Amino acid sequence: MIGQIVSHYRIVEKLGGGADGLLLPAFYIGDETHSPKGSEGLMNKYMTRRSWLGAAATFAASGVAAGQEDFTKLPPNLPVPMDDGACDHLLHMQVPAIPLNATVGGTVSLPAVKAERTIVYCYPRTGEPGKPSPDGWDAIPGARGCTPQSCSMRDNYHVIRRLGGDVFGMSTQSTSYQQEAANRLHLPFALLSDQQLKMTHALRLPTFEVQGLTLIKRLTIVIHQGKIEKVFYPVFPPDKHGEQVAAWLEKKRQGLI
């Protein structure tokens, strides 16, 4: 299959943060989308041919050297995070107009995004190829899975867009740190840096400390008309979250919730 992949470039659509377009490598396999049966296949029922491109690129280009961690996969028997009530206060909160540096350049103010709904998935940190995770990382409930979650949001991005949503990832890493992941994973949306913890503190987002770093617990907020309309917390498993968000938006569109 890899031998059939043809590389070219395309311009992704304008992001809410004001980017004029981002040149990304795209990969097609023939002219059709091929979706294996069952939920364990690379494709799922929400994926379109366009959303397949990022998955194909990662599959083809993110080989893992012997002895290195494969951040694209979740190890078995991860501890399941529990709802500790740390996000109960978020529903209906007004999102402050705090400019956040974006991997597409410039800054993004979340209340100003021109979309029916803005989906912001907050994650602790993506792993760095060739560098091990912090000691005990996999034992922290909800810590592991930032790369699979980002891939899931990428793979469902165009469905989310068709349902009136826009997507941003947010963490407390620097923009340069985030840029490596955005490029490597071929993300069609911006990652936002809250390195100064201004948004984290303003919304009182739950955090935890690892090796002197303050990291946001994995959660997702849906912003509608400047206020938080929906909170996903805890998020598990993270590699299915894009599908979960798309399903919620579909139900919202149909008036079922």
* 228 within 8 A of 92, measured Cβ to Cβ: yes
Q: How far apart are the first and last CA of the chain?
A: 41
CB atoms within 10 A of CB 230: 18
Q: In the CATH hierarchy, which fold is given to the domain comprising 88-253?
A: Glutaredoxin (3.40.30)
- Residues 6+ away with beta carbon under 8 Å from 118: 16, 110, 165, 166, 168, 222, 223, 224
* 248 within 8 A of 230, measured Cβ to Cβ: yes
Mean pLDDT of the chain: 82
- Domain ranges in the chain? 88-253
Query: Strand 165-171 to strand 100-102: parallel, antiparallel, or no bridges (unpaired)?
Result: unpaired
pLDDT at 21: 38
pLDDT tens digits for range 59-86: 444 445 445 667 788 989 999 999 999 9
CA distance 229 to 227: 6
Confidence category of residue 155, pLDDT binned at 50, 70, 90: very high
pLDDT value at 55 more than 60: no
Q: What residue has token string 């963490």?
A: 171
pLDDT value at 26 more than 70: no
pLDDT at 10: 36
pLDDT value at 12 more than 70: no
